[in-house]
Structures are given as structure tokens and as C-alpha cells.
Amino acid sequence: MAIANAINDYSKYTVVPKSETATTTPKKTSLGQEQFLKLMTTQMTHQDPSSPMENGQFLTQIAQFGTVSGIQDLQKSFGDFAGAITSSQALQATSLVGRNVLAPGSKGLLDVGGEITGNINVSDTATSVNVSVTDATTGEIVRNMELGAHGAGTMPFVWDGLNENGVMASPGVYKIDATAYIDGKNTGMETDINSRVDSVSMGSGANGLKVNLTGLDSVDFNKIKQILGV
């Protein structure tokens, strides 16, 4: 029948939940739940008695609507969940402002009469570990420190701010390079630096929550390893 063929041609529409149909424009290209059920009922009423819709076909159309609607509800739930996590992280991050944290990096800020501290992540047993301190502005090596042997794991270090002549270095940013003598060769080691949190920057996606360190670059909130206090 012609009317049955016309009614049956609704597969071109994308099925969306009823709640989303309120904001559609007059020219609808989507089918809400109420319209879907009305169209399905009309189709069954006007179907050709000699060739009625099979149970399998009917169930497939119902399942299609349920699947699409369920996916959209699930996407909304995930969006709400992600928003809640971001808000929780932002609240935690703002509580760090003014406090010191231990975060991955190779630069530290030397205050007047202060020091730079942190950890060296020694990858394997080393017969010796060395720290080289360089002025980040001039590139001048200020101090070399021999820290001795160390097994695999975390090795703390402290630079007291003095240069090779025992004179206090100028305040500013200094680069910390750590090497370990392992299996007959010097190998660069990663370091975590003690720094003060200046502020927090909000972002989204790849540019997520950032913690801005005083005088230094920012670091991802989830990369902070330890909160050291004020």
C-alpha cells in the first residue's frame, strides 16, 4: 500500500531522546520518542494485511531506538561525571597556592639566602651520583656536587646556594642536571624539584588543570608527587 510505504520510510531519521526535541528548529531532521511511537503505531495500523511486519523487524526498530537513546543518556552521564571530577580537582589545586610541592622538572628558584632541594630518581645501582648547577640565564656552571654511591630509587639532594668559591649565588632560576655512573658510563637522571605554587590555571581537554610554580613553568596537576607544606 502507498501509505504503508510512505510511513515505512522513516529510517532516514536519527532517533534522539524526547528531551532534545524541544530545541530543534521547525525543519526537523531528527525523530523524538513520542513521534517515533506514533509513527510505529500508524505503520502497524496501515500495514498490508497480506504482508504484515514480522516480529523480528518490529523488535529491531524498537531496539534501534533504545540503543541510540541509551547511548546519548550514557554520554550525558559521562559528561556530568567528568565535570564533577574537574571541579573536585580544581578545588584541591587551589588549596595548594602558597604551599611547596615536589614536581618533575630540572629548574629551581633560588631565593635570597635560600636553597634548592629535590630528589634524583636513580634508575639503577650507581657507583656515584653527581649534580651540576647551572645559571639558567647565563649558562654558567655554578656548582658541581658529588653525592656518592646510591642504589636504585629516590635520592634527595640539597644545594645550599653557594658557588664553587663558597660565595652565595645571586637569586634566580638555576638548572639542575643529575647524572649517575651506572655500568661504566654516566647516564642522565630525572629530577623532582621542590617549588612554591603561585597560582592555578583551568583548562579543558589536552590543556587540563595546571599548577603554576613561582618563577618557573607550569606543571600538570596530576604530576605533582608530594605536598611539602608552606
| Region label for 61, one of left (φ > 0), alpha (ψ between -120 and 50) or beta (otherwise) | alpha
Q: Structure pTM?
A: 0.62
> Residue 104: which of 224, 212, 187, 199 has the closest Cα?
224
DSSP H helices, the chain, are: 2-8, 33-45, 55-94
Residues 172-183: tens digit of each pLDDT: 999 999 999 999
Average pLDDT, the chain: 77
Predicted local distance difference test score (pLDDT) of residue 3: 41
Residues paired with 90 in a beta bridge: none
Question: Given a cut of 50, is residue 158 above it in pLDDT?
Answer: yes
The whole-angstrom separation of Cα 230 and Cα 165 is: 31
Query: Which residue has cell 520518542?
Result: 33
Residues 161-173: tens digit of each pLDDT: 999 999 999 999 9
Predicted local distance difference test score (pLDDT) of residue 11: 46
Question: Given a cut of 80, is residue 2 above it in pLDDT?
Answer: no
Kindly report which listed range (49-58, 117-126, 174-183, 214-223) carries the lowest average pLDDT score: 49-58
Across the chain, where does the E strand assignment appear?
14-15, 30-31, 100-104, 107-110, 116-122, 126-135, 141-150, 153-159, 172-182, 185-201, 210-213, 218-220, 226-229
Q: 100-193 domain in CATH 1.20.1440.230?
A: no
CB-based burial of residue 79 (10 Å sphere; 0-12 exposed, 13-18 middle, 19+ buried)?
Answer: exposed
As a whole number, mean pLDDT of residues 137-164 equals: 96
Residues 67-121: tens digit of each pLDDT: 655 556 656 655 554 555 555 666 667 788 889 999 999 999 999 999 999 999 9
Q: Binning pLDDT at 50, 70 and 90, where does residue 56 land?
A: low
Give residue limits of the domains in the chain.
2-94, 100-193
% of the chain with per-residue pLDDT over 90: 47
Q: Binning pLDDT at 50, 70 and 90, where does residue 228 land?
A: confident
